[in-house]
A = this chain, B = another copy of it.
Amino acid sequence: MSEIAERLLAGEQRALSRLITLLERGDPAAAEAMKVVDGHTGRAYTVGITGPPGSGKSTIVDQLTQLVRQTGSKVSIIAVDPTSPFTGGAILGDRIRMQRHYLDPGVFIRSVATRGQAGGLPRIVKSMARALDAAGTDLILVETVGVGQTELGIVSVADTVLVTLNPESGDAIQTLKAGVMEIADVYVVNKADRDGANQMASAITGMLHLSAVSPEWSPPVMLTAAHTGQGIEDLWMKIQDHREFLTASGGLENRREARRKREFLEAVEEALAQRLRDKVGNDSDLNNTLEEVARKEIDPYSAALEYLDSSLFSTDWLNSR
């Protein structure tokens, strides 16, 4: 049995940090540990927070953490940094607000960069959440910055998804396009003390009535002013309502099973892609095909289909690790 997993399950905080570092490095020891860790998950509840930049996600995470810590529950925060090489600066500023929790041993905070990932939520976030769960965290808050595909990927880890909106950003209808409505369990109109907050909340409620995404759970629209803490308790109660709804309806189990299946398929896809890349330079058939493509003897797409359907491609190389 994996020693690090054993120490993590015994509640050793350093083992948790160590495992996450191993996960980040893609160390095989991490995969070994995760085999053990996986069986001890399922107790923690995961809340995803997503929304456009400037809508107060970090402040909401900070305030929820403060509130939940008062009950003695352990909280973990996974902050997913944006993929963009152009928008790195602003985000770090937001994170500074969470500093007050850094010295609290009941709060675990980790940032994850999406850089180099193929969009969606970085796979490591799912493994991290699982490790945190097994290590005894009660609540996992995953914050994603709304500048890429990551915000829709939040459903691949969260039990309840909060979508935060900024009344000053204007067009609520524009904001709610493109898949966001499908993933939101609770809307949070933050900066409720600014102009337009009530109108935005009404507009969203109106849209929800028209769309009726889920007949059983109608996503509530909560108003908060996170910098003062206003509305945070109500928001937390609503998150708990959603959890109870999911648990009672069987939806929680369904969501979690579907997520595990999706994660398996993604891991197969990634491993296939990795094995293909490992083959480049080491396989003369593949290299011949690549040279034919480079010389324009065949277009890349047709060449790919022909390669897969030819005898050049076999599972032999897939299995030869």
Q: Give residues in A with beta carbon < 8 Å to B.
A: 31, 34-35, 37-39, 41-42, 51-52, 83-89, 115, 117-120, 127, 130, 146-149, 151-152, 170-171, 174-175, 177-180, 257-258, 260-261, 263-265, 267-273, 275-277, 280, 289-290, 293-296, 298-305, 307-309, 313-315, 318-319, 321
Docked CA distance A35–B303 (Å): 9
Docked CA distance A273–B321 (Å): 20
* Min C-beta distance of A309 to chain B, whole Å: 5
User: Which chain B residues lie closer than 8 Å to A85 at the CB level?
Assistant: 146, 151-152, 175, 177-180
Docked CA distance A267–B290 (Å): 12
User: Which chain B residues lie closer than 8 Å to A117 at the CB level?
Assistant: 119, 149
* A269-B272 in contact (CB<8A): yes
Assuming A263-B293, A265-B277, A271-B304, what are 16 further A-B pairs, CB within 8 angstroms? A83-B119, A84-B147, A84-B149, A84-B151, A86-B151, A89-B174, A119-B119, A147-B148, A148-B148, A260-B293, A260-B294, A267-B305, A269-B269, A269-B272, A272-B276, A314-B315
Known: A117-B119, A276-B269. A147 touches B87 (CB 8 A): yes
Docked CA distance A118–B152 (Å): 12
User: Which chain B residues lie closer than 8 Å to A304 at the CB level?
Assistant: 264-265, 267-268, 270-271
- Residue pairs across A and B with Cβ atoms less than 8 A apart, 18 shown, are A31-B305, A34-B302, A35-B302, A42-B296, A85-B179, A85-B180, A86-B180, A117-B119, A119-B119, A127-B301, A257-B295, A260-B300, A264-B293, A267-B301, A269-B273, A272-B273, A273-B273, A309-B319
Chain B residue with Cβ nearest A299: B38
* A308-B271 in contact (CB<8A): yes
Instruction: Tell which of B120, B277, B294, B296 touches A118, judged by Cβ atoms closer than 8 Å.
Output: B120
Docked CA distance A319–B313 (Å): 10
Which of A264, A305, A308 gathers most chain B CB within 10 Å?
A264
Which of A127, A147, A280, A319 gathers most chain B CB within 10 Å?
A147
User: Which chain B residues lie closer than 8 Å to A87 at the CB level?
Assistant: 52, 146-147
* B261-A294 in contact (CB<8A): yes
* B276-A261 in contact (CB<8A): no
User: Which chain B residues lie closer than 8 Å to A119 at the CB level?
Assistant: 83, 117-120, 148-149
User: Which chain B residues lie closer than 8 Å to A264 at the CB level?
Assistant: 289-290, 293, 300-301, 303-304, 307
* Min C-beta distance of A310 to chain B, whole Å: 9
